[in-house]
Amino acid sequence: MIELYIIRHGLAGERGTYENDDDRPLTEEGRDRTRKVAKRLHALELQFDLILTSPLVRAKQTADILQSVDLCSQVEISPDLAPGGQFKNWLVWLDRWRLAGGRSLAIVGHEPNLSQWAEQLLWGTIKDRLILKKAGIIGLLLPSSGSPIEQSQLFWLCPPRFLL
């Protein structure tokens, strides 16, 4: 099985206050809370083979914080994790990553994409039932081979307050 940790970026600046929303960074509170969550994940002895992140500033900053507490040594950017990113493209990437021997993956991105992707992996359809808070985590077990759609299992749905 593959462990997939789906992580929403931390608390970011107010929408509409930046000329380009892609440049909206984490707030000081967002950085602090995300760092506390990351340290708690490290204390739980989580370790990722890779952190794959959206290219938007707030997601990249979140991924960098996760990396800074030694949850993973490698961070890569994926445009498919940006808002409106393509789930099908990410599935192709995931298949290649699994074939290369990956076993524990964290992806950092945005809502509603992340919870919708989790629902597709669990139920094969979007039900708009999962809610992923900022700096929250969904943990899924994916099969080692074959399609993960409707073949994945939920093992963790955690708002950040439970990790602070």
- Angstrom CA distances, 151 to 12, 54, 84, 132, 140, stand at 33, 25, 24, 21, 10
pTM of the model: 0.95
Ordered domains of the chain (ranges, CATH) = 2-162 (3.40.50.1240)
pLDDT in tens, 6-49: 999 999 988 878 888 888 999 999 999 999 999 999 999 999 99
Q: Can you tell me the distance from the alpha carbon of 14 to that of 44, in angstroms, rounded to the nearest whole number? A: 32
